[in-house]
Structure 1
Amino acid sequence: MGLTNGEFTVTLNGINHWVKIEGSENETTPIVIIHGGPGGNHYLFERTAGHSLSKTRTIVYYEQRGCGRSEMPESDDEYTIDLLIQDFMELKKWLGVEKVDLLGYSFGGELSLEIAYRFPDEINQMILSAPSLIDTDLQKMIQITGFMTIADKNLYRQISNLQQQGLSIDDLYNRIWSLVDPGTVDLLLFEDKETARKNRAMWQESELTNTGLMMNCLQNNPAEIPLIFRLEEIYHQTLIITGVFDRNTGLPISKIIHKNLRNSSLVLFEKSAHFPDLEETEGFVKNINGFLSE
């Protein structure tokens, strides 16, 4: 296929993107890894599940515009789904391959679905880990409920008081996120405290931050037809991986996606919350290799 291992700076739609190829010696259909956030990066994934996957598969990482080690666009408004899909297609052209597999985690799962919907002939198979549907009220309600399940007495009382004010779901959601501290967010995202600690330590080590600009832009530019109503038009063989304790995107979102996709399977991880790739790395990699080998 002509792919070469290494880190690269690739200009996609006029913006320099960080790209890394690993495992090209395996000569398999490349798996393009789509990170979450929105606005996240691959620093952890490339050092954990991604590195393990590269022992048997060709892995392509890229960090989305304005994310991680990639360049920011000139305008804070240039983070739309359309632009992210265009960037991906430019990356695929640079790779010079006929088809790729997609592995998207969290928001990356949602973006993978959008890519497959728009350009179905370019995609082979998909793996979605804890995928999101960020433009739904259900997504916000799952997080609100998630915070209430792990809140201490003080936070629980504050959330209850906010609920009694008759706020809209959007306002309630935003107010709760303004209340929580990093430790509470860790409790939301992880079931295992030691994994949460390692995750936060690696975030600090990376010195990469999420500006929040992508999330703001995506929320201000919703799709004319939300993805939830287009899922049944996506036909690719898809593996959905979800932790049973996921309080962030949650089992309900994964089940909706699974129910509506034409050709999907759902695997539940019994010891994980939002990041089975970190909490059950060995099983995560094993399931993906098995799926791709079928």
Structure 2
Amino acid sequence: MLLRDGEFKTKLNGITHWIRVAGSENNTIPLVVLHGGPGGNHYVFERTIGPLLSNSRTVIYYEQRGCGRTSKPSDDTNYSIDLLVEDFKSLLRWLDVKKVDLLGYSFGGELALEIAHATSEEINKIVLSGPSLINTEINKMVQITGFCSVVDHQMYRQMQDVLNKGLNIDETYNKFWELVDSKSVDLLLFQNQDISKKNRKMWEESNLENTGLMLKALQKNPVAIPLLERLKDINHQSIIITGVFDRNTGIPISTLIHKELRSSEIILFNNSAHFPELEEPEKFNGTVQEFLDRGEEL
């Protein structure tokens, strides 16, 4: 198709997906943005950092199956990395372009790497912002430690009681998420709590809900060979943008990914936690634009 700005609903791999094109007049390699969650949406991104990016690039938003404004599969368990990759391949056919760049934030960064591994020829460059490795113990330990570092004294004592039970990492992780409230989650995800309030307000006004079904399915049916063991096969030029205060995935996960990728660099954002695109949008936009405009060599 000839790319033109607008919102579209089209069936990809049997699921009606929401897609939005912005900045088509820039006629650049399309930058496909992959949202996090798992189970999130693009509502906040397209109203904050998105317009900065589409001022000079062609930006493609799409929401994954069962997410945001995209239809749910008829079977609540019909989520997997393989299915998400197949959905993306259908998106590429719909776009009818030779190459795309990828920008994935949080779980979207993990998905971007899975897509690049599976569809190498169609991917040009990769931008990862606070990427996750959701089924790894280290990612869970980062969040466990992160919560302990930000919650109030009363909540910390409850968490200490959980830690003293001698549970395994998965059990501890699940108990922590049962304990925490929205304030604790905001403290985990954001360094600037004024930004977190604006983010939460937009979450509420969107009326878009994360059902939790995708996360549950991905945790129950992990990929056969962990992504971390396949990253060495990804040759694309990549940058990893990480907030130094990211307590959700952060420097440990970004470092692991960076060590395994063949052509990557880490760029630290000194005033951000998990969402540098929201806490330092101008710097984020400049970093992404410079990287995508750059020549072939890192």
Deviation at 1:11, TM superposition (A): 0.4
Q: How does 1:282-293 map to 2 (within 5 A)?
A: 282-293=282-293
Q: Distance in 1 between matches of 2:113 and 2:224?
A: 16
> In structure 2, what is the equivalent of residue 88 of structure 1?
88
In structure 1, the residue matched to 2:259 is 259
Is 1:195–2:195 an aligned residue pair?
A: yes
Secondary structure at the aligned position of 2:61 is classed as strand
- Give the letter for the 1:17 counterpart: H
Q: Aligned partner of 1:107: which letter?
A: F
Unaligned runs of 5+ in 2: none
1:151 and 2:113 aligned: no
Query: 1 CA distance for matches of 2:10 and 2:249?
Result: 31
Show CA shifts across 1:74-100 (max 9, x none): 011111000000000000100000010
Query: Hey, what does 2:131 align to over in structure 1?
Result: 131
Partner of 2:222: 222
Distance 1:178 1:128 in 2: 29
For 1:207, the equivalent position in structure 2 comes to 207
Deviation track 1:173-198 (CA, whole Å, cap 9, x = no partner) reads 00110111101100000000100000
Structure 2 counterparts to residues 22-61 of structure 1, below 5 A: 22-61=22-61
Query: In structure 2, what is the Cα distance between the partners aligned to 1:265 and 1:3?
Result: 31
Matched, 1:279 2:279: yes
Give the aligned partner of residue 141 of structure 1: 141
Distance in 2, matches of 1:82 and 1:51, equals 31
Secondary structure at 1:131 match in 2: coil
State the TM-score, normalizing by the size of structure 2: 0.98
C-alpha distance in 1 between matches for 2:27 and 2:224: 39
Q: Secondary structure at the match of 1:38?
A: coil
TM-score computed with the length of structure 1 as normaliser = 0.99
Provide, for residues 158-217 of structure 1, a one-character-per-residue CA deviation record: whole Å limited to 9, x for no partner. 111111111111111001101111011000000001000000000001010100000000
- Measure, in 2, the Cα distance between the counterparts of 1:250 and 1:130: 6
Report the Cα offset of residue 103 of structure 1.
Answer: 0.3
SS of 1:274's equivalent?
coil
Paired residue type of 1:250: G
Partner of 1:239: 239
Q: CA deviation at 1:238?
A: 0.3
Cα displacement (A) at 1:223: 1.2
Q: Distance between the aligned counterparts of 2:167 and 2:159, measured in 1?
A: 11
Deviation at 1:2, TM superposition (A): 2.1
CA distance in 2, matches of 1:76, 1:249: 27
* Corresponding residue SS for 2:7: strand
> Partners in 2 of 1:155 and 1:214 — Cα distance?
28
- The C-alpha deviation readout for 1:37-90, integer Å capped at 9, x for no partner, is 000000000011111100000000000000000000001111100000000000
AA aligned to 2:127 is I
Tell me how far apart the structure 2 counterparts of residues 239 and 47 of structure 1 sit (CA, whole Å): 23
Instruction: Report the 3-state secondary structure (helix = DSSP H, G, I; strand = E; otherwise coil) of the residue aligned with 1:262.
Output: coil
Specify the alignment match of 2:73 in structure 1.
73
Q: Secondary structure at the match of 2:56?
A: coil
CA distance in 2, matches of 1:240, 1:117: 16
Number of equivalences: 294
Which secondary structure does the structure 1 equivalent of 2:9 belong to? strand
Quote the residue 2:160 is aligned against: 160
Separation (CA, whole Å) in 2 of partners of 1:84 and 1:231: 18
1:116-145, CA deviations, whole angstroms, 9 ceiling, x for partnerless residues? 011111100000000000110000000000
Q: Return the alpha-carbon distance in structure 2 between the equivalents of residues 98 and 213 of structure 1.
A: 33
Distance in 1, Cα, partners of 2:98 & 2:252: 34
Q: SS at the partner of 1:266?
A: strand
DSSP-derived class of the 1:225 partner = coil
Letter in structure 1 aligned against 2:155? L
Distance in 1, Cα, partners of 2:81 & 2:133: 13
